[in-house]
């Protein structure tokens, strides 16, 4: 990892976009978002904008502290959101969510709730986070980082690797999507957020908060538990997170073997962007009839045998469950259905 020196840290691994760099005094966040926007479909000007990130353009604060050209205001989420508003000429309301590593999953749930309540019929969710020394050093100080590529749900896992990325999802009411002739890539069938209020960084190992979020999301969807064909887990590769998730899945789904996968062994933990990126991958998996593999998984941890696979599984799925958890005990669960 060549973005900064890692000699004195417990890990030297992060999933960085190789040629992502700041331009002038701007944060790398803007370059990341510009690449994301290239492939985006037109966004209605009256869309409600929800942004999600853990640290926004924190790299600008690092450069400012080192006497380098930088705009420290990039660290403020509304500064980045204003850029998105200008880029798309949006005139609707704006909401910013920073809820640790469940940020973008909560943003999606919030957007769906706004549409359900009739407060909006078009919501643009933009999530992003970047790898910086500030964030990297923080996770190393917490002893959460793996010195080798992370191995979600593997018995020999040693921790997580952070990554960077961004995603955008345009949520619409069925009525407006129909009027505008927009194809449905998928549907949010259910969503819920909870907090186990257990510890500032560690999850409650009995999975109480995540169990509550999953059950509430399923209840909201009106679907039985056996409608879920696969689970896109948070799967960070840390000892406590992975064990907690497996406990929660067993509590909800019992003896039924629902395939579980994590993408973080392939792309790293993208922090506040994780839920949005993983929701997009679930949509792709549903459309293609593929349950993605879990990179780095070799020897199953207790409870993972028969659930997690290092190989893709070809299976026609109607619904996937996506879960995310974060510091402070926050948990989010989203039930995603196949599109048209």
d(CA 155, CA 305): 10
d(CA 231, CA 291): 9
d(CA 40, CA 135): 28
Instruction: Answer for the pair 164, 17: CB distance below 8 angstroms, yes or no.
Output: yes
d(CA 127, CA 275): 9
How many residues belong to the chain?
A: 340
d(CA 225, CA 58): 41
Beta-carbon neighbour count of residue 19 at 10 Å? Answer: 7
**What are the distances in angstroms from CA 95 to CA 33, 58, 297, 327?**
17, 19, 37, 21
Q: How far apart are the first and last CA of the chain?
A: 41
Three-state DSSP class for 15? strand
Q: Can you spell out the DSSP letters for 244-306?
A: HHHHHHHHHHTT----EE-SHHHH-B-GGGHHHHHHHHHHHHHHHTEE---TT--SBPTTTTT
d(CA 268, CA 16): 9
Catalytic residue numbers read 101, 234, 269
């Amino acid at each position: 990892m060549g973005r900064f020196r890692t000699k004195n840290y417990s890990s030297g691994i992060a999933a960085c976009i190789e040629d992502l760099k700041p331009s002038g005094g701007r944060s790398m966040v803007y370059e990341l978002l510009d690449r994301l926007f290239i492939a985006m479909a037109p966004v209605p000007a009256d869309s409600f904008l929800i942004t999600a990130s853990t640290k926004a353009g924190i790299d600008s604060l690092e450069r400012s502290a080192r006497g380098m050209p930088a705009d420290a205001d990039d660290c403020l989420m509304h500064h980045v959101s204003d850029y998105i508003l200008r880029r798309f000429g949006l005139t609707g309301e704006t909401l910013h969510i920073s809820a640790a590593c469940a940020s973008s999953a909560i943003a999606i749930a919030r957007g769906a709730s706004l549409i359900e309540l009739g407060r909006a019929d078009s919501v643009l969710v933009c999530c992003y986070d970047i790898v910086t020394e500030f964030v990297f050093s923080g996770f190393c100080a917490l002893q959460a980082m793996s010195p080798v590529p992370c191995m979600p749900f593997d018995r020999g896992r040693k921790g997580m690797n952070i990554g960077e990325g961004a995603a955008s999802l345009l949520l619409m009411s069925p009525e407006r999507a129909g009027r505008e002739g927009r194809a449905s890539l998928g549907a949010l069938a259910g969503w819920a957020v909870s907090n186990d209020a257990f510890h500032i960084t560690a999850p409650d190992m009995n999975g109480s908060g995540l169990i509550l979020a999953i059950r509430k999301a399923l209840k909201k969807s009106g679907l039985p538990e056996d409608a879920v064909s696969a689970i896109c887990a948070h799967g960070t590769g840390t000892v406590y997170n992975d064990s907690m998730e497996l406990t929660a899945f067993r509590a909800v789904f019992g003896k039924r073997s629902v395939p579980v996968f994590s993408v973080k062994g392939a792309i790293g933990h993208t922090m506040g962007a994780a839920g949005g990126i993983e929701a997009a991958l679930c949509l792709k998996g549903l459309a293609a009839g593929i349950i993605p593999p879990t990179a780095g998984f070799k020897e199953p941890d207790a409870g993972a045998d028969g659930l997690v696979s290092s190989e893709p599984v070809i299976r026609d799925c109607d619904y996937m469950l996506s879960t995310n958890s974060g510091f402070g005990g926050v948990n989010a669960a989203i039930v995603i259905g196949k599109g048209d």
